[in-house]
Amino acid sequence: MSISDRDIRAAVDWMRAADPHTIVTPGKVYRALGKKADCGGCLPVFMDTLKSCDSFEVPANLRGLRRAVEPDTRNKGIRHEGRR
C-alpha cells in the first residue's frame, strides 16, 4: 500500500497540531503513518511533498542553528564509513 501526498500532509498537520515546535522528519512521518521506507526509492518524491506542505516549515526559534565550518577545514582528516 502506497503513501499519498494527502497522507503525508495529514501526518504533518497532525504532528504540528500536537506540538507546533516539533521538528518534522521523514522518519517521524513514516512512523505516524505506520509505514517503513524499505528501499528509499520514494524518498525524493516524499521530500518534495514535505517541502511543499505549508506546515512543514522549521519553527523560527530552531532556524540557523548549524555551526559555520571553515571551507578549508571541512572534512579534513575525517574518515567517513571507514573510507578515505
Domain extents for the chain? Answer: 5-55
Q: What is the pLDDT of residue 14?
A: 92
- Residues 28-75 have pLDDT tens digits of 988 999 988 777 777 888 888 877 877 777 777 777 777 765 665 555
C-alpha cell at 48: 518534495
User: What does the alpha-carbon distance between residue 40 and residue 32 come to, in Å, rounded to a whole number?
Assistant: 17
Of 37, 27, 50, nearest in space to 2 by CA: 37
Q: What's the maximum distance between 2 C-alpha atoms anywhere in the chain?
A: 47
